[in-house]
Chains A and B, each alone.
Chain A
Amino acid sequence: MTDFSFWVILSNLLLATRWTIVLSLVAFASGGIVGLALLFARVSRIGWLERLTKAYVEFFQGTPLLMQLFLFFFGVALFGVQVSPWLAAWLALTFWTSAFLTEIWRGCVDAIPKGQWEAADTLAMSYIDQMWYVILPQAFRIAIPPTVGFSVQVVKGTALASIIGFVDLTKAGTMLNNATFRPFLVYSLVAAIYFALCFPLSWFAHRLERTYNVAR
């Protein structure tokens, strides 16, 4: 009887894990795209654009992700759009991710020697061309370890989507706990699955960091 419950619980959790993975991947991708656009703004040396981006980053880094989820969930509804937990979660995670990624990448761009910018300047290249052909290819290498490291935060962030009703791994855990009254087992398994998702990413990021530092 105990074994039967165990496998039912585990299989249900694993099924819900699909959605955690999908949301993580999609949010990371869309967050990356927005983050890249923001990066161009942040480093543009155009005063108002830089300040605007800074304020954006300040807001999304300085408020709880949970608040952002609530704001998108209730805010989108104000526009008369039918809001599903999936949409709100995707939007909130996208903007949250973009703020962190753009800051990480800005640090990498700042690490590129000023001489590279000057050389590209004197060759009459436009700002966008400079970024695309000279600066970003060099910053990309430096950016890989911290970007992979942040992906772990995204996976953990999706757990909050459960609060607005998104049926992810955490929500499944809560539902199963209510059904089976075995919180110790249920949440242990939930933790174990998150660990299985996150630990390889963490380990990989750590490996990349070491490889990069050795190569320097």
Chain B
Amino acid sequence: MSLVSIRDLRKSFGAVQVLKGVSIEITRGAVVAIIGKSGSGKSTLLRCINGLETFDNGSIFVDGIDVAASRKDLRDLRRNVGMVFQQFNLFPHLTTAQNVMLAPKVVNREADTRAKAIASEMLAKVGLSDKADNYPSQLSGGQQQRVAIARALAMRPNVLLCDEITSALDPELVNEVLRVVEALAKDGMTLILVTHEMRFARDVGTKLVFMHQGKVHEEGPPKQLFANPTTPELAQFVGSTMH
């Protein structure tokens, strides 16, 4: 049974059709890497899964919940689906620990002490226990992104969506974030990542989705697809991005 089921998804921004009928099945524990050129629709696809973007046709089911039907109850969906952004989007007026424990406290109505414990646990998971009382502005990009991951994890989601989470980082900081994501994958978290990190996609991913002009162009095990792309577009994309 798929955890996330996307069927014939279509979306247009005005006159421009960005998603032209996308269908993907994602099982529990899968690590799905979505790759493709800019404008191929990958970020839009990701943002449809948790309702940040609405879609025109097709369907998305997450853990049996219809994303479109429960538009009013999008909040319930988002308790199960976490997201990490390219620009981190940490709350600048709160400390690291406060950032992580805000949602558990306010949404799940956890008691203060319990929320603090959750925050400590998550920060330990991403290796930033010592930065609990720092403000985001005092952290490096890599550290901020790891806090963002901890913040999303604090809600104990079933699925974690990662929208190009290393694209805004200096190269030397990318690894610390990827290592955290790899650890999550090993723990059995279902991950859907839009990424440009091809090596990570090949080594950690369980399924590769290559998007081209709004459709799924190729889909399959990453190692196999990278070694033997079946379409010229993927071959060209791999050739230009792998070093």
Contacts and interface: CB of A to CB of B under 8 A. Distances in A.
Q: Is chain B in direct contact with chain A in the complex (CB below 8 A)?
A: yes
A134 B105 CA distance: 13
A62 interface: no
B91 A122 contact: no
A119 B50 CA distance: 12
B72 to A, nearest CB: 12
A116 B94 CA distance: 12
B93 A123 contact: no
A124 B52 contact: no
Contacts of A119: 83, 85, 89-91, 148, 151
A114 to B, nearest CB: 9
Interface in A132-186: 133-134, 137-138
Nearest to B91: A134
Contact of A122 (B82, B87, B90): B82
A115 B81 CA distance: 17
A123 B216 CA distance: 29
A49 B189 CA distance: 41
Interface in B110-124: none
Contacts of A8: none
A120 B87 CA distance: 14
Contacts of A121: 52, 78
Nearest to B87: A115
Q: Is the interface of B mostly helix, strand, loop or mixed?
A: mixed
Which of B81, B82, B103 has the most C-beta atoms of chain A within 10 angstroms of its own C-beta? Answer: B103
A115 B136 CA distance: 15
A129 B52 contact: no
Interface string B73-117: 001101101110101011111000000001100110000000000
A124 B78 contact: yes
B152 interface: yes
Given A124-B76, A129-B106, A118 B93 contact: no
A159 B92 CA distance: 42
B93 A138 contact: yes
A142 to B, nearest CB: 12
Contact of A116 (B76, B89, B106, B151): B89
Q: Is the interface of A mostly helix, strand, loop or mixed?
A: helix
B205 to A, nearest CB: 22
A126 interface: yes
Interface residues of A, number: 17
B155 A123 contact: yes
A112 to B, nearest CB: 10
B89 A123 contact: no
A113 B99 CA distance: 17
A118 B85 contact: yes
Contacts of B83: 118-119, 122
B75 A124 contact: yes
A138 B90 CA distance: 12
A134 B92 CA distance: 9
A125 interface: yes
Nearest to A136: B93
Given A125-B103, A125-B107, A116 B78 contact: no
Given A118-B85, A119-B85, A133-B102, A124 B79 contact: yes
Which of B52, B103, B106, B148 has the most C-beta atoms of chain A within 10 angstroms of its own C-beta? Answer: B106
Contacts of A123: 78, 82, 102-103, 107, 151-152, 155
B73 to A, nearest CB: 10
A124 B103 contact: yes
A118 B106 contact: no
Given A119-B91, A123-B151, 8 more contacts: A115-B85, A118-B83, A119-B83, A120-B91, A123-B78, A125-B75, A125-B107, A129-B107
Closest CB pairs A-B (n = 6): A119-B89, A123-B103, A124-B78, A115-B89, A122-B83, A124-B79
12 contacts: A115-B85, A116-B89, A118-B52, A118-B89, A120-B91, A122-B83, A123-B82, A123-B152, A124-B75, A124-B103, A125-B103, A129-B107
